[in-house]
Amino acid sequence: MKDSRNHCPVASVTVTYNPDLAILESQLNALPQGCLRIIVDNSSRPELLSAIKALAAELPNTRVLMNEHNLGLAAALNRGVKAAADLSPPPRFALLLDQDSEPVAGSVERLVDAFVWLEREGLSVGCVGPTLLDHATELTHGFHQCTRWRWKRMHPPRNSTEPVECANLNGSGTLVPINLFAGLGGLDEDLFIDHVDTEWAFRIIAAGYGLWGIPDAVFRHRMGQDSIRFWLFGWRIWPYRSPQRNYYLFRNAMRLHRRTYVPWVWKIWCAVKLSIVFCVHGLFDRQRKAQAKNMLKGVRDGMRRTGPVQETINL
């Protein structure tokens, strides 16, 4: 493929697994002109993989890398960023994307501008990320912040242009310098899918870099396989996950609880959240038995000090 990026400093890396093709096409078309688009497919069904290839062939600067098995989100993103890093010259930034996120016009450029501005202010910038707007509820997910005693979400005004220092960023929409990504060893592939972005954020901060949310960079995002809107001292978004996804959520949370660079405030907050997840699915989910079995298995496997399970299963 002829490279016609026009010196765009960004390569996007989108991981696909049986995607909604309309959403994927919308995402790819919303990326800046000249941006290199890298799709890493985690063994989608043959008919969908053929459609992904056909879509990529119609778009400029778009490449498809194929994994024979579903190797997980982290491994796929690592492969895509490495492909961008191997270019000569490589783009400066990688934009990490799920298959179900769509940047609003101008948002990727805003992330780049904000990163450069923060650097010029003398800050050690690791990553910047957008406001995530839930597609189903039109509510924003906010930005995670950590005080001495509390893990919280901060919701800046919709018209705010002031970067927000964060303790964590959602993985989809994260903009990171490729050399920093490689220098810190990329994402933790043993985690497979859930909490990949959480672990990465804590490792970035432990290495002395900062995370910032950019309120006026907006990505429409679909959280989990589905989401519901409920009221608990304010309107909130509850992502629904299958029993298998909740296995990874609980297992990986237990793994992070054992790591010294993970803040103790997050560990306490996470334990409370997992208790709520267990109760909600145990009481109200039609698959409550399967949910409880998988969540308890996740806790057990996460507490084990053994090597990673072979994770080439389909989610």
152-207: per-residue pLDDT in tens? 999 998 789 999 999 999 999 999 999 999 999 999 999 999 999 999 999 999 99
Give the pLDDT of residue 127: 98
Give the pLDDT of residue 240: 78
Give the pLDDT of residue 281: 83
Give the pLDDT of residue 312: 41
Concatenated DSSP letters for 217-264? EEEEE--SSEEEEEESSSEEEEEE--HHHHHHHHHHHHHHHT-TTS-H
Count Cβ neighbours within 10 Å for each residue of 251-270 and write b for 16 or more, e otherwise. bbbbbbbeeeebeebbbebb
Contacts for 276 with CB less than 8 Å, ≥ 6 apart: none
Could you tell me the fold of the domain covering 10-221?
A: Spore Coat Polysaccharide Biosynthesis Protein SpsA; Chain A (3.90.550)
Please state, in angstroms and rounded to a whole number, the distance separating the CA atoms of residues 227 and 224: 7
The 10 Å Cβ neighbour count of residue 72 is 26
Give the pLDDT of residue 227: 57
200-240: per-residue pLDDT in tens? 999 999 999 999 999 999 999 876 556 555 555 666 656 77
Query: So where are the chain's domains?
Result: 10-221, 241-303
**Can you give the pLDDT of all 315 residues of the chain as single tens digits?**
344 445 689 999 999 999 999 999 999 999 998 999 999 999 999 999 999 999 999 999 999 999 999 999 999 999 999 999 999 999 999 999 999 999 999 999 999 999 999 999 999 999 999 999 987 777 888 999 998 889 999 999 878 999 999 999 999 999 999 999 999 999 999 999 999 999 999 999 999 999 999 999 999 987 655 655 555 566 665 677 889 999 999 999 999 999 999 999 999 999 999 999 998 887 778 889 999 999 999 999 999 865 444 444 444
- pTM of this structure: 0.90
DSSP state of 308: P
- Report the SS3 class of residue 213: strand
Please state, in angstroms and rounded to a whole number, the distance separating the CA atoms of residues 93 and 12: 8
Give the pLDDT of residue 154: 93
Contact 193, 99 (CB under 8 A): no
- Report the SS3 class of residue 271: helix
Give the pLDDT of residue 200: 98
